Amino acid sequence: MRRFTGALAAVAVAAAVLATTAGARVLRVGSYHGIRGQFSSIQAAVDAARPDDWVLIGPGDYKEHSARAPRGRPDLASGVLVQTRDIYLRGMNRNSVVIDGTRPGSARCSQGAAAQELGPRGKKGRLGLNGVMVWKANNVWVQNLTVCNYLNGAGDTGNEVWWNGGDGTLRGGIGGRGFVASYLNTTSTYFKDEATAAKYGLFSSNWSGGLFDRTYASNFNDSGYYIGACKQVCNQTIDHAWAEYSALGYSGSNSGGQLVVKNSEFDHNEDGFDTNSQNGDNPPPQNGACPGNKISPITHTHSCWVFMNNYVHDNNNPNVPAAGSAAAGPVGTGMSISGGRNDAVMNNRFVNNNAWGVILVPYIDSGPPCTGGNPNSPFGCLFEEWGDALLNNRFSHNGSYGHPSNGDFAHLNLQDGEPTNCYRGNRAIGGGPLSPDAAALQQAYPFCTGAAVPASSSNPAFLSEVLCNSQVQLNGQPSPCPTGQYPRRTRVVMHPLPKGLPTMPNPCRGVPANPWCPARKG
């Protein structure tokens, strides 16, 4: 199928579906308006589906624990496994259709310890479960429902909805193309420890092409949203998202090219939004440059990775689940570009992030392959950040922790000769001045000329503060905090889903006539 991107993708794909539904079947799970469907299990309906079929799900709490996994990958045990291309999985109400990881007989999305299902047993313990996993199946839609409490374990699990193109098997290749994720809630209510905590809400890896629209994610120990392992062919759009109460609202490792995040809200996370290069979900680096040196119709530059028209606020929450490298996200930070390159951040609001509104910093990793990084730096595998543009953003009340360098935005690079970033048109809401470091950067580097700049590690205040805040260890010792600690976790607080998240206005739209969606007369 021809690939489209952004809003055009949704229109084009919807038109294609409407044109092909004549021979499609509608498989119904549960009941809707007193009419019973053919299936009681979502997995059973998915197993029966053929390409172009629809799976409709009536309101109810579906305890899906099939523990199905792709052949040869028992570590990917999932409640619902989708391996058939071009099927459309849609709930009839976003808030009352629930795919639930808790045990049968328990309350919906129960937070009780005895209610949790930890998956099948493996050699190293219980494997955990993913919620809905789409495995190498092109153009699968998941819409208008809630997924909760699929927990981590000894497997690669704890992910509520995952479009997986072959993680860990393709060496950075693309194994899946196209999807629509809309009107979805993903959350967890349960926390005992990081070993079992849910990891990701909405997840795409080794995938090219896709749309996330009107979605919500909260309470994850890595991130609410994740796009990774797609280098410069991601071709995905996140629109009208809302991410709260996670270590990172969004994380994107080695995901670049045409990737747009817009009209979304990131709040009450430890770190609101993070995109980075690293030796994981290979190949690095994270590079937002348009493939083939093309020009973006949004930025009118060679940067196709765009973060625009978003509201990033109050990301000062240490009391969230947090594990692995995500736990190093500096608390009080609205957005981190960590070893990312050629990214455009434009027309956003950054408000009440108590350390920094935006930071642009290197990412230090260990071990091979260090593709696109410096393996010979004294810090290990060093992924420098460069060529990023911070344009026409508005800032207010950032940096209130009051440590040196806290403020609206700050930059650090550790080696000489990298291309400059640019800072232009950024202003304080209400007309006041930007914070001192931000104002100095904007005056010194208004244009992305590509000119080489010297290392800025001579800014010891910012270097020491960001190391302290991230709790990075150097030579096995925690980084010192010369001006005092940043807030640290005292206890994890799990938050309920917001009430009244909008459901799909007409869940029968585009669906072939069936007992739940009769054909309209005239």
Q: What is the mean pLDDT of residues 319-339?
A: 97
Q: According to the model, what pLDDT value does residue 4 have?
A: 31
Q: According to the model, what pLDDT value does residue 7 have?
A: 40
Residues with Cβ within 8 Å of residue 447, at least 6 apart in sequence: 422, 424
This prediction's pTM: 0.94
Q: What is the mean pLDDT of residues 103-128?
A: 97
Q: According to the model, what pLDDT value does residue 458 have?
A: 55
Q: Assign 232 a pLDDT band (cuts: 50, 70, 90).
A: very high
Q: According to the model, what pLDDT value does residue 17 have?
A: 42
**Is there a contact between 137 and 164 (Cβ–Cβ < 8 Å)?**
no
Q: According to the model, what pLDDT value does residue 21 have?
A: 52
In 3-state terms the chain splits into helix, strand, coil percentages (rounded to 5) of: 10, 35, 50
Say how far apart CA 348 and CA 255 lie, in whole Å.
21
Residues 39-67 have pLDDT tens digits of 999 999 999 999 999 999 999 999 999 99
Say how far apart CA 246 and CA 224 lie, in whole Å.
6
Q: What is the DSSP letter of 257?
A: S
Q: According to the model, what pLDDT value does residue 1 have?
A: 29
Q: Which range among 285-289, 449-453, 480-484 shows the weakest confidence by mean pLDDT?
A: 449-453
Residues with Cβ within 8 Å of residue 479, at least 6 apart in sequence: 464, 467, 468, 470, 471, 472, 473
Domain residue ranges of the chain, discontinuous segments joined by +: 1-219, 259-493
Residues 152-187 have pLDDT tens digits of 999 999 999 999 999 987 766 899 999 999 999 999
Q: According to the model, what pLDDT value does residue 20 have?
A: 43
- Exposed, middle or buried, 460 (CB in 10 Å: 0-12/13-18/19+)? exposed
Q: According to the model, what pLDDT value does residue 126 have?
A: 97
Residues 394-410 have pLDDT tens digits of 999 999 999 999 999 99
Q: For residue 206, give the nearest of 256, 252, 238, 172 by alpha carbon.
A: 172
> Is 467 strand, coil or helix?
helix
The mean of the pLDDT values for the chain is: 93
Q: Which range among 237-241, 278-282, 299-303 shows the weakest confidence by mean pLDDT?
A: 278-282
**Is there a contact between 93 and 126 (Cβ–Cβ < 8 Å)?**
no
Q: According to the model, what pLDDT value does residue 5 have?
A: 37
Q: According to the model, what pLDDT value does residue 333 have?
A: 98
Q: What is the mean pLDDT of residues 347-352?
A: 98
> Is 242 strand, coil or helix?
strand
∠ Cα 515 516 522 (to 5°): 80
pLDDT above 70: percentage of residues in the chain = 94
Residues 183-219 have pLDDT tens digits of 999 999 999 999 999 999 999 999 999 999 999 999 9
Task: Using the predicted structure, report yes or no on whether residue 413 has a pLDDT greater than 70.
Answer: yes
Q: Which range among 296-310, 350-364, 465-479 shows the weakest confidence by mean pLDDT?
A: 465-479
Q: For residue 413, give the nearest of 445, 443, 366, 367 by alpha carbon.
A: 445
Q: Assign 3 a pLDDT band (cuts: 50, 70, 90).
A: very low
Q: Assign 457 a pLDDT band (cuts: 50, 70, 90).
A: low
Q: What is the mean pLDDT of residues 334-347?
A: 98
Q: Assign 23 a pLDDT band (cuts: 50, 70, 90).
A: confident
Say how far apart CA 382 and CA 415 lie, in whole Å.
9
Residues 267-280 have pLDDT tens digits of 999 999 999 999 98
